[in-house]
Amino acid sequence: MDKKKLIEVLSNLVQLDIDAVHAYEQALKEIDDPIINERLLKFQDDHRSHIGGLSKQIEELGGNAPKQSKDFKGYVIEAFTAIRSFTGLKGALKALKAVEEVTNRHYGKVVSQEVPAELKEALRTYFSEEKIHLEYLTSNLQAIN
């Protein structure tokens, strides 16, 4: 993959992580279970870490990392999460699961592409964390049903 395309792909991942941070922010407002809340805060921090790591890679490639603000899709995700979260814990977890499904799909695509070895390792780590987020949300939703 050429440098310009790689910067674009990484920028898209950064934007997804930025949007996920905002979605977690909305969901966490409605979750009062301290154990789940603590775990979701950790996941939100993972997304922040991904933003930092990928932004650094983009800059090293000569690009400009996205600003840490929502794009249009981010506003839609945040609104969706806020609306779902009003229905309580189950709605909040469902909204975050939807966000994590999108994030996992995109990380999965990028990890399978040809990228520099050091970046590939970071992407695999981030993708692994994303899978943990999705598995946790899925198992909690199954337990609630």
Q: Which residues contact 116 (CB under 8 A, 6 or more apart)?
A: none
Q: What is the pLDDT of residues 62-119, one digit of tens each?
A: 999 988 755 545 444 555 455 445 567 888 898 899 999 999 999 999 999 989 888 9
- List the domains of the chain with CATH numbers: 3-144 (1.20.1260.10)
What is the Cα–Cα distance from 95 to 40, expressed in whole angstroms?
13
Give Cβ neighbours of residue 42 (< 8 Å, ≥ 6 apart): none
For residue 68, the 8-state DSSP code is S
* Dihedral angle, C-alpha 74, 76, 77, 83, nearest 10 °: 140
- The amino acid occupying position 72 is F
For residue 122, pLDDT over 50 is answered with yes
> Residue 48: its pLDDT value, please?
97
